[in-house]
Structure 1
Amino acid sequence: MTAATTNGAAPLPGRVDTLTDKENEGLKKTWLRLIEVFQQKGVEWVPPVKVEEVKEVKKSRWGFGGKKESTENKDLFLGATANPEWLSLPLEKALPLIPGEALGITFWNMVAGDNPDAVVLRFLRARKWDLDAGFNMLMNCLRWRIVMRVDDITALGETGIRNELETLKPGMGESFIKNLHSNKSVLGGPDKEGRGISYINVRFHKKEDQDFEVIKLMTLYVMETSRMIVHQPVESSCIVFNLEGFTLANMDFEFVKFLLNCFEAYYPETLGSCLIHKAPWVFSTVWTMITPLLDPVVASKIHFTKNLDELAGFVDMNVLPPFLTGTEEIKVNNDKFPCPPAGTLDRKKTPEYQDYEDMIREYLHETHAWAKTDLPAKDTKRKQQALHYRHASIKAANYLRARTSYHDEGLADLENGRLLLKFCGRVPTIDITDCV
């Protein structure tokens, strides 16, 4: 089914509707491997008993001192509920250790109501249809999601994350909320390809103002929140780095490397365009250090815009937020922050959630049968199955993800069982419920 936000361009290759016979066969083989992995037992892992962490021993001015390592920079939330070997070991050794049920749960949370075939295809395209490499990339992503607690981030929501962080380190939760609502990152859109946009106002960021874990959590939270507006055929997003007012004090290489790694390894084929707006001359020095880090595919999607006219070549002027058009000054938000209800990690077995789980089982059963036929992914029955899954995930959305401030601001929302994409009133509302 065609989304209303498409710009009318010809369908891209390697998508559900444009697969060659060989690509359809590769998709089916990958699904059969996935289904098998989801059934593996894995090795039971019990979190170790928590002990009081050793405080950092004061070092001498030359960096010598006690033998105990500092715990200051260790993540407290991320990685706290999974066997660290699941991520640290080579994939071929780590994968058999992970329960298939956990891999399956995080896979479907990653799909998030999208056409499941489209999600699998992103990994195959990213590895140029090398089926082993594409499958390994997908498995590497799933184990990363489990260790990084991506599903917990989505389920808890901003208020739930704040509460969890406060129990781990007083002040850390408030730091997360302050960063989230600091206008460092603002979701909006659409661009001229119908994609959602994340505006990054770099001048509001200074590395030393918060723990790096807070920035990683914020990044994952925003990326996963933006997944709620994904609909076929619009699979990717746009990022606008607004460098107005940028100085070297705003540069954070750790964040840049983390973000690039996310897009290249864990969210493949989801970056549609990256616009670097109003880069000052001092940024040229920074850019020479960033360029070697860029994957060629990512690099090809980066464009520099010097002024509004050039930016309007990618995003319609009436869609741009007022802080970019100059009609309103953007400041660090020091007002009272919104506080949507906290989510929970205890998913209740409501009828909607039970229907969602039943639909996943049905989809996998039908997929196993479909993979042994010569029917393509664009087959009407196959797409109808994806639509049934999407409807079930939309009905269960309140039990899969916590409500966010972006719902309240009008980015997208559920109304009468329909998923409506509103883009905060900048374009007419679009019903994306049936877009698979």
Structure 2
Amino acid sequence: MAPSTSTYVQPAVITDGRLGHLTPEQTAMLQQFWVRLYDIFDGKTQFDQTAPSSFKGQAREEDAAAPQPEKKGWFGRGKKEASTSEAAAAEVAPRFTGQDMYKTFWKLTMMDHPDMIVLKFLRARKWVLDDAMKMFLNALKWRIVERLDELVELSDVELDAKYPKFIKQMELGKGYLRGADPLGRPMSVVNTRLHHKSDQPAETIHRFTLYTMECGRMLVPEGTENVIVIFDLSDFGLDNMDWGFVRLFVQCFEAYYPETLGVCVVHRAPFVFWGLWKLIAPLLDPVVASKFVFTRNNAELQKVVPADRLPITHYGGLDDWTYSYVPAAPGENKCMEDTATKEKLLAERHALEQRFDEVTRSWIVSGKHTASADRDALAKELRAQYTRLTPYVRAKNLYQRWGVAVDGKVNWTYKVKA
């Protein structure tokens, strides 16, 4: 049954377990996590080298074409018979080394303070080191097998050639990021009425979803860790439902981008949705489930997001803005062809990473359970350096063309009508 009214209360800024607000006990746990992490990076400690359970291995073409048995269990958590393609995937599932984890960790970090990344996993697993480490390593392995690098390295046109109708998803405006709430949390809008599962290959939607997640990371300003997701269910019907997308969405925020979902707004859910919600809700992690808020109309939505941050069209806000896809401009990724400068900047980046490692190792053995000013200064250098590196390792995306993500800054503009 649908909630009678929205119960959302604007949150205060949470500081517990966050950078700059750690207790000595939390700092000691953070140091222990780094000890274990370096033991794995250095090859001193064995770890589970198999791919995470959600790995979709690249089976042989003839096997991939084989009929798939029906899954038992809405999110694939029930038992099912092994298919030929799954068996082939298991055979080619990669094994990972400590160096693989090290390289992927620094690619994951990008412009963020490395501690911020680690702390998300510690908080997600209630500061239980073993559980947090397992979750973290699975997330790193997942990033490798999902080939997330290509989603930032390939242009829109290249992604469209590899995944048919990729650009079509953006042209339609099925999902995009626009604006931020008063806490600086970027807002991701999903227009479910525009999605029909049979209109494009399932892999295209899968890749587009992950692409949007990775773009979103560039739009989180320094000092902010969460995003808001708005599922707009206006005119939603059963033909708009896509269990594969729902499963991926849940997996991402539960396991691979923990402590990232601030609020998930389900807006204008019709009667038909509540039958589906009864199936979805029990499968959600309690922490993720607690982030869901239901708004019946625009007035309730504006209790979550101020009217001056919402478009006039469709949401009754004050922002005179309409979504439009801006295609790539000729030569916008020319920097990526400048291999000499790229290699120079990458060498500079790796030198900073090594300095951070050295200072962190010294911090660990110091016996002081307080923050390290040297580490924090290096984290700022890493952030600034990533800004210089970005044009040489990342293809320009829609949000850069909009002028939102420029030179490491996030600049949302609103055309507020009186």
- TM-superposed deviation, 1:51: 7.1
Match of residue 399 from structure 2: 406
* Higher deviation after alignment, 31-40 or 305-314: 31-40
Matched ranges for 1:334-353 at <5 A = 337-338=327-328, 341=332, 349-353=342-346
Distance in 2 (CA, whole Å) between partners of 1:103 and 1:405 is 30
Contact 1:158-1:342 at 8 Å conserved across structures: no
Matched ranges for 1:86-235 at <5 A = 86=94, 97-163=95-161, 165=162, 172-173=163-164, 175-235=165-225
Distance in 2 (CA, whole Å) between partners of 1:33 and 1:83 is 29
Contact 2:311-2:322 at 8 Å conserved across structures: no
Contact 1:204-1:332 at 8 Å conserved across structures: no
CA deviations on 1:379-433 (whole Å, 9 max, x unpaired) are 433311211111111211122321101111122112xxxx221124469xxxxxx
Distance in 2 (CA, whole Å) between partners of 1:346 and 1:214 is 30
Match of residue 272 from structure 2: 282
Unaligned runs of 5+ in 1: 1-6, 60-68, 87-96, 166-171, 428-436
Q: Identify which of 37, 62, 66 aligns with 1:53.
A: 62
Contact 1:356-1:392 at 8 Å conserved across structures: yes
Could you say if the C-alpha distance between residues 331 and 192 of structure 1 is closer, same or farther in structure 2, counting changes exceeding 3 Å? closer
Match status 1:371 vs 2:364: yes
Distance in 2 (CA, whole Å) between partners of 1:113 and 1:182 is 30
Could you say if the C-alpha distance between residues 346 and 219 of structure 1 is closer, same or farther in structure 2, counting changes exceeding 3 Å? farther
- TM-superposed deviation, 1:158: 2.5
Distance in 1 (CA, whole Å) between partners of 2:380 and 2:67 is 59
Match of residue 297 from structure 1: 287
TM-score, normalization by structure 1: 0.78
Contact 1:353-1:399 at 8 Å conserved across structures: no
Contact 1:122-1:268 at 8 Å conserved across structures: yes
Could you say if the C-alpha distance between residues 278 and 379 of structure 1 is closer, same or farther in structure 2, counting changes exceeding 3 Å? same
CA deviations on 1:115-144 (whole Å, 9 max, x unpaired) are 110110000000000001101100000011
Distance in 1 (CA, whole Å) between partners of 2:267 and 2:202 is 25
Match of residue 25 from structure 1: 28
Could you say if the C-alpha distance between residues 162 and 375 of structure 1 is closer, same or farther in structure 2, counting changes exceeding 3 Å? farther
Q: Which amino acid aligns with 2:153?
A: A
Matched ranges for 1:226-245 at <5 A = 226-245=216-235
Over the aligned positions, Cα root-mean-square deviation in angstroms equals 3.6
Could you say if the C-alpha distance between residues 32 and 336 of structure 1 is closer, same or farther in structure 2, counting changes exceeding 3 Å? closer
* Higher deviation after alignment, 104-113 or 117-126: 104-113
> What SS does structure 2 have at the residue aligned with 1:262?
helix
- TM-superposed deviation, 1:316: 1.4
Match of residue 261 from structure 1: 251
CA deviations on 1:21-80 (whole Å, 9 max, x unpaired) are 12111111111222222233999xxxx999763685799xxxxxxxxx787x999xxx9x
Match status 1:34 vs 2:37: yes
> What SS does structure 2 have at the residue aligned with 1:318?
helix
Match of residue 54 from structure 2: none
- TM-superposed deviation, 1:100: 2.5
Match of residue 385 from structure 1: 378
Distance in 1 (CA, whole Å) between partners of 2:271 and 2:27 is 48
Match of residue 93 from structure 2: 85
- TM-superposed deviation, 1:284: 1.1
Distance in 2 (CA, whole Å) between partners of 1:105 and 1:283 is 42
Match of residue 90 from structure 1: none
- TM-superposed deviation, 1:15: 0.8
Could you say if the C-alpha distance between residues 58 and 122 of structure 1 is closer, same or farther in structure 2, counting changes exceeding 3 Å? closer
Distance in 2 (CA, whole Å) between partners of 1:277 and 1:338 is 32
TM-score, normalization by structure 2: 0.81
Q: Which amino acid aligns with 1:17?
A: G
Match of residue 250 from structure 1: 240
Q: Identify which of 396, 407, 410 aligns with 1:421.
A: 410
> What SS does structure 2 have at the residue aligned with 1:391?
helix
Match of residue 318 from structure 1: 308
Could you say if the C-alpha distance between residues 375 and 211 of structure 1 is closer, same or farther in structure 2, counting changes exceeding 3 Å? same
Could you say if the C-alpha distance between residues 10 and 269 of structure 1 is closer, same or farther in structure 2, counting changes exceeding 3 Å? closer
Q: Which amino acid aligns with 1:383?
A: D
Contact 1:192-1:314 at 8 Å conserved across structures: no
Q: Which amino acid aligns with 2:93?
A: E
Contact 1:112-1:227 at 8 Å conserved across structures: no
Distance in 2 (CA, whole Å) between partners of 1:142 and 1:58 is 31
Q: Which amino acid aligns with 1:274?
A: C
Task: Give me the identity figure in percent.
Answer: 35
Q: Which amino acid aligns with 1:302?
A: F
Could you say if the C-alpha distance between residues 254 and 347 of structure 1 is closer, same or farther in structure 2, counting changes exceeding 3 Å? farther
Question: How many residue pairs are counted as aligned between the two chains?
Answer: 380
CA deviations on 1:264-304 (whole Å, 9 max, x unpaired) are 01000000111111111111111111111211001111101
